[in-house]
Structure 1
Amino acid sequence: MTRPRAASQRFVAQLPTRVRSRVEVIYSPILEIKPLPVKIDTSGVRGLILTSANAVNAAVSLGVSRHLPAFCVGPATTGTAKGAGWEATMVGATAEELVAFLLKHRPESPLLHLRGEHTRGNIALRLTESGLTVREQAVYQQRLLPLTPEATAAADGLLPVIAPLFSPRTARQFADIWTGSAPLWLAAISQATADPLYSLDYARLKIAKEPTPKKMQKAVKKLVKHAMRVEGNETTD
């Protein structure tokens, strides 16, 4: 599992018991999330845009007001925001869907997009250019990490390795650091995440039908089934 430990454990816990019983789970985060030591000015802001659970967690640690409505991408971000006390609304499964929703419904602005240092989509710029004033502020950093010794050993082994990738940046990092000879089975949460992986020598690449945890779980489930059928062996994840 390549996500930060807590997110990886949540994902694994939601897999069917039969799938978990057939693999050895290896946690090897290749991205570390840390809140930035910044002050957030919400004066005049009429709502928040939250596009990741990491942004929600950083906002909590930075003391951002819970009285602002939050427009969120995806069920995980929305659930995390609601759990933290925000009046959160899921307005799409992707940044594109969020932009379309906000331009159609045009809530009171200005809005504030809380994001990581590295982000895609230019949400604030695109919305502002379309007449909906949106500011943005980076509230967490994403530091790339190497594979753990345990993951490196699995990569150099004989058993098939199933690697779920959840963002284009982590996919690029994985493609850069993977040097293993083990049979490689990949699951990507989106086409943009899959693109950096085509340079790898893999047995199979499965792209989730939608960029959601539920669809990624289905992709991993299918990979486990196919890998075990082909290899006739225990797999590592």
Structure 2
Amino acid sequence: MTDRNAFRPRLLLTRPRAGSERFARQFQARFGADWPITIAPLIEIEPTEAELPAANVLIITSEQAIAPVVNAPGWAGKPVYCVGPRTSEVLRRNGFEVLGTAPNAQQLFALISAEPDPGPMLHARGNESAFPLAQKLNAAGRNVQEAVVYAQVPQPPSKELQELLDRAQPLLVPVFSPNSGRLFAAAAEGTYARLRVAAISEAAAQACSGLAHTELRVAAKPSAEGLIDALVALMRDSSG
């Protein structure tokens, strides 16, 4: 009997567990609940309990920053600019007024810069940042403070992850940020696996571009759907 999994490369997810489980559900909704998937986080999220300075408008560039803000007194219903449709959706569900959404921090900078100045703004973010949004906005004449409300804490590679990387097999690997790419590249150094990496951005792709046995594609859209499309394209390219 033919092993069906031989034609379905394993999906390897290394982002924080909650986000990995959500992406796995999205992937399986498209390709079937029996697609082989391994979740082996190289990052987990921890709140910092940072104090939030007063501001008229919030800036949220990651869904991970929402819970710390929601749980802080006096911030419910604040107007907010954000990155990504899912972040926008979660903010609205939590009672925030979404003023505008952009696909990434660079485009959010352009969006906010084109709007009337609302006065003091607060960028609630993680400890890793690919684009200095507050710095750019302040240089453009806005008043923006930052609060690091969560930390991305690196996790050691699990035994399961190391075993996967030590086998000469194809693996589908979505990379969701430059930081994720760097951590995966470190874990996969010297790998025997044939990696098919879909990166959410050029910066994320660059972070893991030096890996051996790697086919690399940047998603056309910086979203879960865009990454899934890129993984499909990698499978199509690899099948000849």
Q: What is the TM-score of this pair, normalised by structure 2?
A: 0.88
Tell me the residue number matched to 1:119. Answer: 129
Aligned length: 227
| 2:88–2:101 CA contact under 8 A, matched in 1 | no
Tell me the residue number matched to 1:214. Answer: 225
Tell me the residue number matched to 2:94. Answer: 84
Deviation of 1:214 after TM superposition, in Å, equals 1.6
Tell me the residue number matched to 1:46. Answer: 56
Deviation of 1:140 after TM superposition, in Å, equals 0.6
Tell me the residue number matched to 1:167. Answer: 177
What is the aligned counterpart of 1:136 among 146, 161, 166? 146
Deviation of 1:18 after TM superposition, in Å, equals 5.4
For 2:77 and 2:30, how far apart are their aligned partners in 1?
Answer: 42
Tell me the residue number matched to 1:105. Answer: 115
- State the one-letter code of the partner of 2:134: A
Unaligned regions of 5+ residues in structure 1, if any?
A: 231-237
| 2:17–2:44 CA contact under 8 A, matched in 1 | no
Which whole-Å deviations, capped at 9, do the CAs of 1:173-210 have from their partners, x for residues lacking one?
11111142111111100000000212101341111012
| 1:114–1:137 CA contact under 8 A, matched in 2 | yes
Counterpart secondary structure, 2:38: coil
Tell me the residue number matched to 1:235. Answer: none
1:68–1:52 CA distance, 2 compared to 1 (3 A): same
Q: Could you tell me the percent identity over the aligned residues?
A: 30
* Residue 35 of structure 1 pairs with residue 42 of structure 2: no
For 2:208 and 2:235, how far apart are their aligned partners in 1?
Answer: 19
What is the aligned counterpart of 1:15 among 6, 21, 27? 27
1:67–1:21 CA distance, 2 compared to 1 (3 A): closer
* Residue 59 of structure 1 pairs with residue 73 of structure 2: no
For 1:15 and 1:64, how far apart are their aligned partners in 2?
Answer: 37
Counterpart secondary structure, 1:175: helix
| 2:51–2:147 CA contact under 8 A, matched in 1 | no
- State the one-letter code of the partner of 2:220: K
For 1:131 and 1:23, how far apart are their aligned partners in 2?
Answer: 50
Q: What is the TM-score of this pair, normalised by structure 1?
A: 0.89
Tell me the residue number matched to 1:199. Answer: 210
| 2:192–2:213 CA contact under 8 A, matched in 1 | no
Tell me the residue number matched to 1:233. Answer: none
Tell me the residue number matched to 1:183. Answer: 194
Counterpart secondary structure, 1:32: strand
Counterpart secondary structure, 1:205: strand
1:155–1:49 CA distance, 2 compared to 1 (3 A): same
Task: Compare 197-206 and 47-56 and name the one that shifted more.
Answer: 197-206
Counterpart secondary structure, 2:134: helix
1:63–1:20 CA distance, 2 compared to 1 (3 A): farther
For 2:207 and 2:40, how far apart are their aligned partners in 1?
Answer: 19
What is the aligned counterpart of 1:2 among 11, 14, 37? 14
For 1:83 and 1:224, how far apart are their aligned partners in 2?
Answer: 36
1:149–1:63 CA distance, 2 compared to 1 (3 A): farther
1:163–1:28 CA distance, 2 compared to 1 (3 A): same
Task: Compare 168-177 and 157-166 and name the one that shifted more.
Answer: 157-166
- State the one-letter code of the partner of 1:33: I
For 2:153 and 2:81, how far apart are their aligned partners in 1?
Answer: 26
Tell me the residue number matched to 2:3. Answer: none
- State the one-letter code of the partner of 2:45: I
Deviation of 1:118 after TM superposition, in Å, equals 1.6
